[in-house]
Structure 1
Amino acid sequence: MNNRSIIFQLSFYILVTVTVTVAIGVYLNYNFSRRILMQKIEENAIYQSDKVTNKIAHYVVTAQEVTRNVSAQLPYYDENGKLEEFLTNVLKMNRILSGFRLELKGDDGKRYIAIFAKSEKEFLVLHDEKYCQFPNFVEIKSIVAKQTEGLWSDPFYCPLDTSLLVTSFTEAVRNSDGTVVGYLSGQINLNFLAKLVAGIDIEKGGLSFILSKDGTFLTHPNPTWVMKKNIYDIPEKIFPKKRAEYEGMMRSHQEGSGFAFPEFFGYEKAWFHFSPVPYTYWTVVIIVPANKLFLELDSLLRNVILLSTLGLIAVLLIIVYIMRKMLSPLSTIAKSIKRLSTGDIRVGDQRNEIQMLSSSLNELQARYTKYVNEQNQSKKDRRKIEKDLKSAKEIQTAIIPAEFNPGRKMAVIDLYALLDPAETIGGDLYDYFFVDSTHLLFTMGDVSGKGIPAALFMAVASTLIKGKSTSLSAHEIVEHVNNELSLQNANQNFLTLFLGILDIETGEFSYCNAAHNYPYILTASGEVRTLDKTHGLPVGVYSSKAYAGDTGYLKAGDRIVLYTDGVTDCRDESGEFFGNSNLAQTIKTIPDFSAKESTLYIFDRLKEFRGEADQSDDISLMVIRYKG
């Protein structure tokens, strides 16, 4: 065989490989035909069930949104005496809903209003409690009163028409302060379920039905089963294997499939598929008799053999064509590699493809070596940048004051602050120092942007604040700092800044807020107040800008909390902001702690809220406790 030509050897090996491949393919097709057919049936079942679940979800979502919107507007229409007219008009415009059930609390007791659509123009209005409630209404009320989301009821028969199967979505009615003043239930007619399921086109003579949360049949080809039988109560012989597994998947609202022996098919083996309906606890089930699943097996096998034979013939023709054209493509490939290695579109007169490939590989090796050297240099440059950043962080840390230690004379002040940058270095700043023996200057700011530019701007601003603090007027100091920063601000950075000066003997402090976050004051009695005044634009935007100021007072035991927007803009893993309301509530719950303990208490709550989410902005906190 080795003495044969390359063309002969290649032809022989390719023919043997193709023949073995075709034989294996036919064998695998024969053994996996059932799996292919089963996949086809399952895909069709999933497709049909998805169509039904999407239609049901449309009804459910529409009913939910209408009920939510109506519950939000109910207090307004109730105060204006147009409640029944409003509910009737909503039913006219939303034919998905078949009625409303309303329970309202009042000073003179509970009120009940039930409005049902008898036709497109006729509506029945009742004020009887029995028409406003349904089987698990008390349980649903206790749940929706504690959460912001409404809740669907179990299906039940309408008291006006016992042949009408309905379900209700209940939403709490709240007044402007969030107090629950009633419960509104939007009702939909479930007869549409039977119509949707009847429209499913199941192959192989199958059937489909829908189950409720507890397994009760909501629809079935045998109408005597509806609301009368439960799938979890069926005989053991229907699910001889994996009964507990299937039941667990259905109860936990999962999708699955398997084999059973249903009563409807005379306990003959059948394949089934079940999937949950979005926004509800219902489940769509599709069943197909097993003896009708594999009728196409023989036809499929014949088609596979025919296609395999045609494919073998096609491969033989391709082999002949490739052998004839082998030398030409080899030469083309060698020249292409040569051009790639040299970068020159012109190729010399060298005709030996093997030698051409060898020289091209040598050239590629040289280019690869150059590439590796460049990568190593890039790593060195990156390490240098990291070293510079570390040095910059150390410098920034040195600018920020160390832990507050006023000494015995200043024992009336307890102060602590921390800074947690989002990157190696950040743009937040805080500072505190005594202007004279009785006046403490404290400040906090947030520079626009992050990284080295923000850190440099922060350093300049911090230096200017110390240099310009020659008076006891907060707004004058802010004006001086703004003038200096605005004159040399080519990058258009700016700084939100809060600056206060506290008289430690009287507790009076003057302050100026240049578009910074509003500080909070936690009084000794546990009350939370906000210094909600802004006295001008951020610092560094416009020169010669005048800033106003205000004064406040701290009593013994009062604490003032300063922070940057990295606190309120902190997000959890779902993207929700921590916000001012959470911060105010957190401050309100701080025990009688020192300034340091209070600061760390807020910071720990912030870390718990953020969880595993990335920190998006610099975080700064400062707490001053006045003990005078």
Structure 2
Amino acid sequence: MNNRSIAFQLSIYILTAVTLVISVIVFLHYNFSRKILIQKIEESAIHQSKQITAQVTRNIVTAQEVSRNVANQALYYQSHGDLEFFLSQALNSNPLMTGFHVELFSPSGSQYLSVIRTDSTAHQIFRDDRFCSANITPTVRIQVAGGETVWSEPFYCLLDTSRLIASYSHAIYTRDGAIGGILSGQISLDFLNKVVSGMMFEKGGFAFIVGEQGTFLTHPKQEWIMQRNIYEISHQIFPENRDKYEQLLRSHLAGSGFAYPELYDYKKSWFHFSPIPHTNWSVIIIVPAKELFNDLDLILREIILVSAIGLLSVLAIIILIFRKMLLPLASVVKSIQRFSFGDRRRLNRKNEVELLNDSLQELQQQYNSYLQEQNQSRKDRRKFEKDLKSAKEIQTAIIPKEYTTDPDHPEIELFAALQPAESIGGDLYDYFFIDSKHLLFTMGDVSGKGIPAALFMAVAHTMIKNKANALSAKKIIEQVNKELSYQNTNQHFLTLFLGILNTETGVLNYCNAAHNYPFVVRPNKEVSLLEKTHGLPVGVYANKPYSGDYMVLEKGDMLVLYTDGVTDCKDSSDTFYGIDRLTDNLSNMTDLPAPELVKRLLKSLAVFRGETRQADDISLMAIRYHGKDHE
């Protein structure tokens, strides 16, 4: 190299530097594009998984609700000799269900009844345990006896061995709360294939569903269904991280990675799996890696070819330019060398190419750090959103749903609603029968909003249930206040109204811990307030005593409870909804049923607020007392 001309040496150095720089850029761009592509495919797979799980969950939840409702009414119809008719009607009314199986306990031995759908309009009745035993197994009996509700592992129907089914078992409770039997609602899993086959997957991918034990519930190869197990496939398919993926699957968690599936002739493929809520099933999506990166690899080859041609052209041009530019310098050097007294070259030189290389390296480091920070930020945001969603689901589970009229208590008509200002809130309400004639109902408002207020609300809600046997509103509040005050490190407090209604006499024992005054709405359109406060908010002072009061509800009287999110609701001009407006609206709704009254009040608030953002949680509860002789 040293015996070459300076023009040639400089050309080689510059071309080498340019080649290195372009190679680094192409390599980084390729890897970054590869990461982005995997991320996009993963986002698409997660979205498709959510679509599949949403459709599956909708059917699963529907089956659970239907089975629970049937279980809650089974003994009533059995006592009237109409259980077979009731199960048949329930089956006809719910096309999703393929059968119901009932085992009723009695001193003389269990009684069995199975109603199984044979086609869209016909079903068969069985009165022995042939079909119940496939659903109500000894394990199921143990779990249901412990208060659990159980989804069975999928199995084939005894009437039609080509039909894969699963059942949901629920306890049948007697009036005194004992378990009087077990009901299993049966659904066909044919809908799983329809859900999965109805999805369009990118790059020639496919999806399938596996059960809790890893058994294939769906698959493009029908002969693999219920015959293959994800945990028993060969190490050729999962040569790496097999234990990790199996642990994630068994723990009902999501994950992704690479495998070599048999369906693609053991070629490398990318996969993603995620759990299906309300079940122990998982959905798995697979995309061939060759198809995944084919377009990117083609672009890389084109870039390399174009770059090689460009570099050769640049080399020729640089040599020509340097030769022309350095020709006078070469003549001068030859002339000066005759008068030179030695080599005076500077060895520690740093040219522009080296500076550019240092700058590119620093920029690359900053760019990689930025990507890591962005990825971590996205992970933290997803985790927060997941935690917030879980907190909302927990709060929704704590607050009771719409009151279902109990045939044993026709004298009570009750409806309540909660609209949090944020994803989760600090309002609470509850209602339940302490015993056969005492209804406890309560409404409260925790200071603050968000997750801390919701956690405080959940603790208070649990304590109220635990203290309910006192049958005294003031004693319950005193006990809850004492325990909350000792545990209240964040200094939250709770305004609370708690009442215990004797449904036989109409006598209401209540205690108001600084909560909004409830309304008493009478059938003659008279609207009044229970303007009594019996103590400070709960959770402030542990040893503060509370008092209480009694009143008698007459037939047709209605109690309306609310939180300050109702009266403090503002419109676009910052005008409050106010107690007067609420009173006027109630006076025009005295003859409405409790559900209609609550819904109209919520609609009135929404119309009043308009486009203004809701600033506080809104809770409403209406209880109408019809009297013990109400039919």
Q: What TM-score do the two structures reach when normalised by structure 1?
A: 0.48
Larger Rg: 1
Give the alignment's TM-score, normalised by structure 2.
Answer: 0.48
